[in-house]
Amino acid sequence: MRAVDLIAKKRDGEALSEAEIHFLIDNYTKGIIPDYQMAAWAMAVYFRGMTDRETIALTEAMIRSGEVIDLSDVDGIVVDKHSTGGVGDTTTIILAPLVAAAGVPVAKMSGRGLGHTGGTIDKLETIPGMRLDLSIQEFVEQVNRIGVSIVGQTGNLVPADKKLYALRDVTGTVESLPLIAASVMSKKLASGAHSIVLDVKAGKGAFMKTPEDAFALAKVMVSIGRGLGHPTSAVITDMNEPLGYAVGNALEVREAIETLKGQGPADLTELCLTIGARLLTLAGAASGEEEGYRRLERILGSGQALEKFAQMVEAQGGNPRVTEDLELLPKAPVVLPVVAGADGYVAGIDCYRIGHIAMVLGAGRATKEDRINPAVGIRLCKKVGEPVAAGELIAYVHAATEQQGLEAVQKILQAYRLSDLQPEKPPLIHGVEF
Ligand code: URA
Ligand code: CA
């Protein structure tokens, strides 16, 4: 087999065989096929697409390029949830203990934030003492003991994706549905989950800008999961405004704890219950969405999910009293109000810009090496559809310095779009792909 023939075959619109795809990925990972040939192949895929069979074979080849976490020692069906990345998305921190409190084990590997999107590991690290670097053995042992653990990615998972993603990034080939889907699903499946619910975000703050594109991506990812023997479904959700009110690491943990107490924002709560209900259904712990949703609502109301969260924090070395005393979380020295300049309705909150402002305040990273500031961020007070009066509070900025805070205040005012007419609010859940 020669790489050049496989590039030409894809260029001419033919489907590659499983063996051909494995040949490309194996030899690229080993450094035998050079970047320029892989880039040409990726561009051919960008224009010609891939069949479901090819996409499944690509995902499998990528999974096999590195370590695979074995969670077979965990009792019960391990479920996992993956979001394609959003702003202010605290779902995992609420969902993991919530679903575990319903008796379904959650063994979750999460990432750090990059660019305008946050990462669960950065958020949980704001809890004093909390360890996110458990060994695989500690991770499995904890899931068996208390039903839930969230850790950072360990091991050498999917090295093929590290190389290929970096190459796509500089060759204009990121935006290919089969390449994105294989990239995401290979990492998910290599981290050991059995059943998966994908939260595919659509909107200004997301990778996919329209619900149509998000549905198309969801379809490919679901067919990969199923094709490799994993019950998989997807929920397509809106990311035109941030989820909940808080954006920033400690601020989001605070919001997650409030939500676990049943006092969280309506959108965040609904998203957690919807994805959770799907997870229970996939794991066979609920007969359907309706029953799962009601059950999780009761668990949230009873305080059991909050209790499970405190157990997880304690098991990982963190101070579980954080659930009773939010003052234990890091706090920014400067808190400034953002005040509306005119009357109107909030017609839009530029989600990408809010994420970017939070990043510049220090809540996120522009490059992988940047250090984050756990305390800083933004707390919105008004969301899309709400009326505001001139002089009324629309947000708070939590900053490290007065200067940085004042700059953020100005930028937040620009991210809010006001109108005279009450706008139509887009639905939070655009649909599901089973
Ligand atoms: N996120 C990923 O992990 N992979 C892609 O290809 C695109 C987004
Ligand atoms: Ca939030």
**Confidence (pLDDT) at 311:** 98
Q: For residues 129 and 273, state if they share a domain.
A: yes
Please determine, for residue 114, whether its predicted confidence score (pLDDT) is greater than 80.
no
User: For residue range 29-49, what is the model confidence (pLDDT) as tens digits?
Assistant: 999 999 999 999 999 999 999
Q: Best mutation site among 59, 109, 165 for ligand 1, i.e. most ligand atoms within 8 A of its Cβ?
A: 165
C-beta of 184 in contact with ligand 1 (< 6 A): yes
**Confidence (pLDDT) at 369:** 83
Q: Specify the amino acid at residue 426.
A: P
Q: For residues 228 and 274, state if they share a domain.
A: yes
> Two tokens at 231?
């019950």
Domain boundary among 300, 323, 346: 323
- 178: domain CATH number is 3.40.1030.10
Distance CA 60, CA 224 (A): 9
Q: For residues 226 and 256, state if they share a domain.
A: yes
User: For residue range 185-203, what is the model confidence (pLDDT) as tens digits?
Assistant: 999 999 988 999 999 999 9
Q: How confident is the model at residue 134 (pLDDT cuts 50, 70, 90)?
A: very high
Q: For residues 336 and 310, state if they share a domain.
A: no
Q: Best mutation site among 59, 63, 163, 180 for ligand 1, i.e. most ligand atoms within 8 A of its Cβ?
A: 180
Q: Is position 292 within any domain?
A: yes
Distance CA 163, CA 25 (A): 10
> Two tokens at 386?
């709400």
Q: Best mutation site among 184, 207, 224, 239 for ligand 1, i.e. most ligand atoms within 8 A of its Cβ?
A: 184
Q: What residues contact residue 58 under an 8 Å CB cut-off, 6+ apart?
A: 21, 25, 50, 178, 179, 182
Of ligand 1's atoms, which has the minimum distance to the CA of residue 180?
A: 6
Q: For residues 278 and 360, state if they share a domain.
A: no
Taking CA atoms only, the protein residue closest to ligand 1 atom 2 is 184
**Confidence (pLDDT) at 116:** 78
Catalytic residues: 82, 161, 168, 183, 187
Q: Number of H helices and number of E strands within the chain?
A: 16, 13
**Confidence (pLDDT) at 156:** 87
Q: What is the mean pLDDT of residues 313-338?
A: 98
Distance 206 CA to ligand 1 centre (A): 12
Please determine, for residue 115, whether its predicted confidence score (pLDDT) is greater than 80.
no
Q: How many C-beta atoms lie closer than 10 Å to residue 366's C-beta?
A: 12
Distance 183 CA to ligand 1 centre (A): 6
Per cent of the chain over pLDDT 70 is 100
Q: What is the mean pLDDT of the chain?
A: 95
Of ligand 1's atoms, which has the minimum distance to the CA of residue 179?
A: 6
* Structural domain span for residue 30: 3-49
Per cent of the chain over pLDDT 90 is 88
Domain boundary among 288, 323, 358: 323
Distance 330 CA to ligand 1 centre (A): 31
Q: For residues 295 and 270, state if they share a domain.
A: yes
Distance CA 330, CA 21 (A): 48
Q: What is the mean pLDDT of residues 325-339?
A: 98
Taking CA atoms only, the protein residue closest to ligand 1 atom 3 is 184
| Distance from chain centroid for Cα 229 | 23
C-beta of 345 in contact with ligand 1 (< 6 A): no
φ/ψ of 22, rounded to 5, equals -60, -40
Of ligand 1's atoms, which has the minimum distance to the CA of residue 182?
A: 6
**Confidence (pLDDT) at 55:** 98
User: For residue range 259-287, what is the model confidence (pLDDT) as tens digits?
Assistant: 999 999 999 999 999 999 999 999 999 99
Distance 141 CA to ligand 1 centre (A): 30
Distance 243 CA to ligand 2 centre (A): 5
Please determine, for residue 215, whether its predicted confidence score (pLDDT) is greater than 80.
yes
- Residue 362 in contact with residue 372, Cβ under 8 Å? yes
Q: Is position 225 within any domain?
A: yes
C-beta of 183 in contact with ligand 1 (< 6 A): yes
DSSP per position, 310-346: HHHHHHTT--GGGGT-GGGS---SEEEEEE-SS-EEE
Which residue shows structure tokens 């954080």? 322
Q: What is the mean pLDDT of residues 117-128?
A: 92
Q: For residues 33 and 111, state if they share a domain.
A: no
Please determine, for residue 112, whether its predicted confidence score (pLDDT) is greater than 90.
no
User: For residue range 14-26, what is the model confidence (pLDDT) as tens digits?
Assistant: 999 999 999 999 9
Give the number of the ligand closest to the Cα of residue 46: 1
C-beta of 180 in contact with ligand 1 (< 6 A): yes
**Confidence (pLDDT) at 18:** 98
| Dihedral Cα 17, 20, 25, 29, nearest 10 deg | 160
Q: Is position 64 within any domain?
A: no
Tell me the CB-side half-sphere exposure of residue 332, using CA atoms within 13 A: 28
Q: How many C-beta atoms lie closer than 10 Å to residue 290's C-beta?
A: 11
- Residue 358 in contact with residue 351, Cβ under 8 Å? no
- 34: domain CATH number is 1.20.970.10
Distance 390 CA to ligand 1 centre (A): 42
Instruction: Give whole-number Cα distances, 31 to 28, 212, 214, in Å.
Output: 5, 37, 33
Q: Which residue has the higher pLDDT, 192 or 316?
A: 316
C-beta of 220 in contact with ligand 1 (< 6 A): no
Neighbouring-strand partners of residue 336? 397
Q: For residues 267 and 408, state if they share a domain.
A: no
| Dihedral Cα 315, 320, 322, 325, nearest 10 deg | 180
Q: Is position 432 within any domain?
A: no
Which residue shows structure tokens 């790489």? 3
Distance 403 CA to ligand 2 centre (A): 24
Q: For residues 167 and 187, state if they share a domain.
A: yes
Neighbouring-strand partners of residue 429? 237
**Confidence (pLDDT) at 273:** 97
Q: Is position 109 within any domain?
A: yes
Give the number of the ligand closest to the Cα of residue 186: 1
**Confidence (pLDDT) at 205:** 82
Q: Is position 425 within any domain?
A: no
User: For residue range 399-417, what is the model confidence (pLDDT) as tens digits?
Assistant: 999 999 999 999 999 999 9
Taking CA atoms only, the protein residue closest to ligand 1 atom 6 is 180
**Confidence (pLDDT) at 380:** 98
Domain boundary among 289, 323, 357: 323
- Residue 19 in contact with residue 5, Cβ under 8 Å? no
Taking CA atoms only, the protein residue closest to ligand 1 atom 5 is 180
Number of domains in the chain: 3
Say what the pTM is.
Answer: 0.92
Q: What is the mean pLDDT of residues 154-168?
A: 91
Q: Is position 88 within any domain?
A: yes
Q: For residues 341 and 267, state if they share a domain.
A: no
Supply the DSSP symbol for 283: T
First to last CA, the chain: 38
Q: Is position 56 within any domain?
A: no
Q: For residues 26 and 145, state if they share a domain.
A: no
69-73, 242-246, 253-257, 321-325: which has the minimum mean pLDDT?
A: 69-73
Give the number of the ligand closest to the Cα of residue 91: 2
Please determine, for residue 154, whether its predicted confidence score (pLDDT) is greater than 80.
no
- 407: domain CATH number is 3.90.1170.30
Q: Best mutation site among 114, 158, 174 for ligand 1, i.e. most ligand atoms within 8 A of its Cβ?
A: 174
Instruction: Give whole-number Cα distances, 111 to 82, 152, 153, 219, 296, in Å.
Output: 10, 6, 6, 23, 25
Q: For residues 136 and 249, state if they share a domain.
A: yes
Give the number of the ligand closest to the Cα of residue 358: 2
